[in-house]
Amino acid sequence: MATMRKKTQVSFVIRDEEERRHKNGVSSLQLDPIQGRLYSAGRDGIIRVWHTGGGTQDRYIQSMEHHTDWVNDIVLCCGGKNLISASSDTTVKVWNAPKGFCMSTLRTHKDYVRTLAYAKDKEQVASAGLDRAIFLWDVNTLTALTASNNTVTTSSLVGNKESIYSLAMNPPGTILVSGSTEKVLRVWDPRNCSRLMKLKGHADNVKALVVSRDGSQCVSGSSDGTIKLWSLSQQRCVSTIRVHSEAVWALLATENFTHIISGGRDRLVIITELRDPDNFMIVCEETAPILKLCFTADQQSVWVATSDSDIRCWKLPPLNSLHSDMYNQNNYNTNNVYQTQPQHHIAGGRAIKHYTVLNGKRHILTKDTANNVVLYDVLKACKVEDLGEVDYEEEVKKRFKMIYVPNWFNVDLKTGMLTIHLGQDETDCFSAWVSAKEAGLTTEMDQKVNFGALLLQALLEHWSHPNRVNEGGQKVIGNNFFNVPLHTPLIFSEVGGRTLYRLQVGDAGGETESNLLMETVPSWVVDVAIEMAAPKLNKLPFYLLPHSSCQSKQDRQKKDRLVANDFIQCRKVAEHVVEKIVGGGDVNGASAGKNSEDSVNDSPEERVELLCCDQVLDPNMDLRTVRHFIWKSSVEFTLHYRVLKQ
Amino acid sequence: MPVNSLLENKKGVEKPKLSLSLNRNNASNLRKENKPASLKIFIWPDSKNNKENKPAKRSLKDTYNNTLQAAKKLKPLTDVPKVQECELVVEVPLGNFAMLNGHHPSDNQYGGSAQWKAPIATLSNLGNTCFLNSVLYTLRYAPQFVHNLHHLVSDLSRVEQKLGSIRLKSSSLGRSAAGLAASGTRSWSSKDLLSLGQADTSATKSKIQIATEKLHETYLSLRVAESKCLHSGADAAPEPYAADSFLAALREVNSTFEGNRQQDAHELLVCILDSIRETCRALSARALRLQLQENGDSNGIGRQPTLVDGDGGKTLGNFRKSWKKRKEVKVNEKRNSPSEERPPSPDPEKDERARPGWDFVADDFEGTMVVRTMCLECEAVTEKAQAVCELCVPVSDEDATDESFRSACLSSEYLRDQNKYWCERCLRYNEARRSVAYSRLPRLLVLQLKRFSGGMEKITRHAPTPLLMPCFCEPCARRAPDQEPAHKYILWAVIMHLGQTLTGGHYVAYARDSSQADTKCEREGGGDASAANSGSSFMRTLFNRPRPSPAGCTANECCVPRPRPEACWLACDDDLVKPISNEEFEDLLSAEPKMRSAATPYLLFYVKSEVG
């Protein structure tokens, strides 16, 4: 199994223990009218639950965390008992909605799961995405899944030729419609999985769909900017509504299918009468493209989710007022909107949009959507300092140090939070050896530590692995220097692909977690994090020559090819020169090796100086830094030495 | 294409030794080269019978002529003397422009002795140089190409003359002042100075420039050959011209063309166009220098040339940039009102065209390709524009339609599955749609059929070659379906490739000789007195001298092909060039290749034409 599997990538997220605000856009909304709760699916990978009741200052209830990528769609089912979510981590998850924990994960999709549809009367959910497949799920079966009873049969609807971006079912579950980049609507009967028809008419991707209760009508919103009303019984487009100036991404139909509320890239929420599209009104203008619309319990207002992290509630105009000439005289005159102030506002947080990995390959400077600059420590998986609204470029410049450390991780900002992907194999992940003293981990001289190894040891220190014993029979835990926050999400995934397992660092001690880790963690990680094997050192070959200004008496003109650890300092090379080349021949004759340190009080760097490209080197500079900043090439790295004192 | 050029040539070069059927009219053309003993018999199709699509009947006289011509070819080749013709004796009345599609009443004018009244110069094969000849023929009949080349070369020589004289002047000045102070003992004779000046000019004359001049010389010689033939009055075809001096110059520029191997005609075309473009740049730089120097002279030493409207002080790079900007604006204006007529008064484009060193290659052959990528999540579009010289079109598997070039050029694809697009706004990999369009298509559109892509085997599949093609540049494509595009493209030449590989085989060019005498010249004559008068600019006074002669553009007397009685297609196969009727040509294009070695269109040349 291990040999056939793709490479496993270890990742983690640097974040606060509780993230009470959406850190990125909000893709989907669901209302529980009975409990008065609003569920919102975030592109930060977190589903959050909010009080909708008026007067509450802090609406936040809880977070539902288990996805590792954008949550693209959610459906609340079983009268609010369960929630189904679809994510770009390619999974569909089943949640206990009131308690907020993940009950099971469905991994049938092979690409981003983009959309869900729900047939309320049958408790049936359909999922679809960029892998072109549509799966039908019986919610009652899904919620009954346990660790032992974990097989589920699903029917799939095949025939889509391109990526699916939208789905809709009617409550009785007699009609299912899908929208895709194919620009056609495909209609199925989910009861027998038969294809019913294909509706052509849109000129671009179809990203929003609604089906009427009886399944006779359907409304579609497309990236071509139009909304189309289709008669499924007549298999034709009844009318084309052109109220938006850009792509239509969200649709919401009123109870009796008389009006359609739409939103999209032009940031406007517009309500239109389906029978007479001339009767429409701009409800409000949002601050970002609209991703989802959801009625309040009384259907007098809509909750609006956008690609910003805020969620706002806007009052709808009375349906019979649309024909009044007050608001709809000019389509795009946004001064003419019905509401300029939202009824409610759930404030969002800030997404990190820019980052710079500082030269030491340990700290990251970030800038978010509000131009806030924050410094993070990757090694300890925590925030170091909030610098506020300062000049980001200036801060980056200020922190420049002339040191070179190899890359050992990558940064990913897709969720708006810092996700760190460690190097994909032992050579990448363990490439950064540094002095423990310089890393501020110890005061001892000469101790070298490996960033990747230290971090893996800290991330997995709670895993009760049986091999975690040293020669003395004692349990070895962690890296003896530091810990990472217990809430840190730790993610194992296929390289560039699907998530295999996600857990929090502090939960690794549990029995189930330990067993799952045994299956998931690649052996090169176990070797270093559990069995405490030291990663390999990086060797750097170089040539050592006397400088042209230094007349060597001996025949030392031929190139000396040496190999050293890439982190050793020039001081060490100077020592080598003193001991093996200069000292050995000139000062103490044959007994040089033994007595050189006693007989000479001067430190080696005072006796010999090193040069690279005719530049005198700081004895504290390490070889890889010299090669990166001074030699500036990866081949034929050459150093020269010059004797100062005999 | 560079890919094509990588194809290794077989040792023991394959001579273009083949027999082919040019069309269904049984006009066969049997050639066996380098076998002096064999008698060459050329059978001319008799266009009288073409409409009935019957086998050609040959008149005795025709046969006689052809035999005569064939016999002449056996003579050793001599260089055609480059004499300027002194006068134009007969202005052959121009026939009306025959449309490409359909029957033309004056088809019968070919054949018989009439054709010798409009002799056509030919190029001899120098050993596997049919790739060269086919391109030279094509460019010769390219609308306005030779004309523009003529002005480039004549401007160049004028500027060089001027610069040379200035250099002489300034160096003698230098001697009297700085020269005496620095190296006082050394005395320079005027002979020294002269040779110095000459050495300077020849040193600055790059290989590229020489190639451009030799190309012009080739066309000049062809024209001379035609005139000579006409004047001699004999019933003889012009002697084939050997373009060896141009080939030698070309080999200096690009070593790919060394050796007696068959070459990719497309690569040659690119090389020629690049050379001309470089020459334009060099001329533009030199003209600017000249302008600065002239101004310095007239204004006295040490004074900045303030009269040269801002461009003067800038470096060459800036100069070109500012010109580009001006052009860009022009394009935009045009886009806004494609049908609107240009204002009659000062025309910046005309000015630009009259500028010495005007890069007519860029203007005539370059289009602008726009690649747009839209993230399917945020639907933001990123756009990249780049200049493209010729469009490559795959030979499609399906039954191609007339629209196939358009659809092949305007492609749209999805980036998805394992090939997702990194969206800088979403900061992640998303699906995206990438489309290719052309914001501008050149006046002369070159399409290269990708017959040699992939493996070594040539794709011989038939692809329809439309004689008339609707324009698919963005302003045209964006028009409503009921509206006609603002321009269309008319086929004016085809280079056919015969044989199975790019390194072997044979090239034949078919070019439409639409008389170029009606070419409106922006430079000289043409009754455009207003431009000459209004120009107080130095450039105009320099380059419009001598005053436009009433006869029109000097190119008409120099190197452009002699006007023919009427437009027709010419089949140009090395030293055999003959007019063919529209029907014959169309038959040729529509023929499904039967053999693997059959002739297949490889390069298609279209000229833009405004609709209405």
Residues of B in contact with A165 (CB under 8 A): 376
Q: What letter would DSSP give residue B177? A: I
**Maximum average pLDDT range among A441-445, A570-574, B520-524:** A570-574
Bond prior to B579 in cis (omega within 30° of 0): no
Q: Is B379 in Cβ contact with A414 (below 8 Å)? A: no
A27, A73, A89, A111: which to substitute to probe chain B, counting the most B Cβ within 10 Å? A111
Residues of B in contact with A205 (CB under 8 A): 376
Classify domain A22-100 by CATH architecture.
Answer: Beta Barrel (2.40)
What pLDDT digit, counting tens, does each position of A364-374 carry? 999 999 999 99
- In 3D space, the residue among B159, B164, B168, B217 whose CA is nearest the CA of residue B191 turns out to be B168
Q: What letter would DSSP give residue A619? A: T
Q: Is B428 in Cβ contact with A414 (below 8 Å)? A: yes
Average pLDDT score over residue span B17-26: 35
Q: Is A247 in Cβ contact with B416 (below 8 Å)? A: no
Whole-number pLDDT of residue A449: 92
Average pLDDT score over residue span B435-461: 81
Is residue B440 pLDDT above 70, yes or no? Answer: yes
- Shortest Cα–Cα distance, A77 to chain B (Å): 27
Whole-number pLDDT of residue B80: 39
Q: Is B416 in Cβ contact with A163 (below 8 Å)? A: yes
Average pLDDT score over residue span A61-70: 96
Q: For B350, phi and psi rounded to 5 degrees?
A: -65, -45
Tokens of A104: 């099971």
Whole-number pLDDT of residue A103: 94
Three-state secondary structure call for residue A633:
coil
Tokens of B278: 């470089």
Three-state secondary structure call for residue B346:
coil
Lookup result for tokens 């790079």: B317
Rounded to the nearest 5 degrees, what angle is found at the Cα of A240, between the Cα atoms of A234 and A243? 155
Instruction: Tell me the domain boundaries of chain A.
Output: 22-100, 352-530, 539-583+602-643
Give the residue with greater pLDDT, B475 vs B65: B475
Q: Is A130 in Cβ contact with B431 (below 8 Å)? A: yes
A317: left (phi over 0), alpha (psi -120 to 50) or beta: beta
* Mean pLDDT estimate for chain B: 67
Q: Is A414 in Cβ contact with B433 (below 8 Å)? A: no
CATH assignment of A539-583+602-643, among 3.90.226.10, 3.30.530.20, 3.40.50.970, 3.10.20.90? 3.10.20.90
Is residue B495 pLDDT above 70, yes or no? Answer: yes
Tokens of B114: 């009439």
Give the residue with greater pLDDT, B451 vs B313: B451
- Shortest Cα–Cα distance, B396 to chain A (Å): 22
Q: Lowest-pLDDT range, A399-403, B269-273, B523-527?
A: B523-527
Contact partners, residue A497, CB within 8 Å, separation at least 6: A6, A90
Report the amino acid identity of residue A451.
Answer: F
Whole-number pLDDT of residue A415: 96
- The closest CB to that of A247, out of B379, B416, B433, belongs to B379
Q: Nearest residue on chain A to B428, judged by CA atoms?
A: A414
- The closest CB to that of A130, out of B416, B426, B427, belongs to B416
For helices B265-299 and B207-232, angle between their N-to-C axes, nearest 10 degrees: 100
B425 touches chain A (CB under 8 A): no
- Shortest Cα–Cα distance, B428 to chain A (Å): 5
Whole-number pLDDT of residue B349: 65
Question: B129-153 burial, b if ≥16 CB within 10 A, otherwise e?
Answer: bbbbbbbbbbbbbbbbbbbbbbbbb
Q: Lowest-pLDDT range, A168-177, A289-298, B187-196?
A: B187-196
Residues of A in contact with B376 (CB under 8 A): 163, 165, 181, 205, 223
- Residue % of chain B over a pLDDT of 90: 16
Whole-number pLDDT of residue B504: 76
Is residue B591 pLDDT above 90, yes or no? Answer: no
Is residue B427 pLDDT above 60, yes or no? Answer: yes
- In 3D space, the residue among B300, B444, B430, B288 whose CA is nearest the CA of residue B365 turns out to be B444
Give the residue with greater pLDDT, A46 vs B87: A46
Whole-number pLDDT of residue A446: 75
Q: Nearest residue on chain A to B414, judged by CA atoms?
A: A181
- Shortest Cα–Cα distance, B427 to chain A (Å): 5
Whole-number pLDDT of residue B47: 38
Is residue B74 pLDDT above 60, yes or no? Answer: no
Give the residue with greater pLDDT, A412 vs B393: A412
- In 3D space, the residue among B468, B463, B402 whose CA is nearest the CA of residue B603 turns out to be B463
Whole-number pLDDT of residue B560: 78
Residues of B in contact with A223 (CB under 8 A): 376, 379
Whole-number pLDDT of residue B594: 65
For helices B265-299 and B145-174, angle between their N-to-C axes, nearest 10 degrees: 40
- Shortest Cα–Cα distance, B461 to chain A (Å): 30
Whole-number pLDDT of residue B201: 46
Q: Are A306 and A273 in contact (CB under 8 A)?
A: no
Lookup result for tokens 């033939």: B229
Residues of B in contact with A265 (CB under 8 A): 379
- Shortest Cα–Cα distance, A414 to chain B (Å): 5
Lookup result for tokens 């014959």: B584
Q: Is A223 in Cβ contact with B378 (below 8 Å)? A: no
Q: What is the 3-state secondary structure (H, E, C) of A276-291?
A: CCCCEEEEEECCCCEE
Residues of B in contact with A414 (CB under 8 A): 426-428
Residues of B in contact with A247 (CB under 8 A): 379
In chain B, positions 380-419, which contact chain A (CB-CB < 8 Å)? 414, 416-417
Q: Lowest-pLDDT range, A110-119, A283-292, B222-231?
A: B222-231
A-B CB pairs within 8 A amount to 31
Q: Is A181 in Cβ contact with B414 (below 8 Å)? A: yes
Residue B79: pLDDT band with limits 50, 70, 90 = very low
Q: Is A414 in Cβ contact with B426 (below 8 Å)? A: yes
- The closest CB to that of A205, out of B376, B417, B428, belongs to B376
B378 touches chain A (CB under 8 A): yes
- The closest CB to that of B379, out of A70, A130, A265, belongs to A265
Q: Lowest-pLDDT range, A103-107, A349-353, B566-570?
A: B566-570
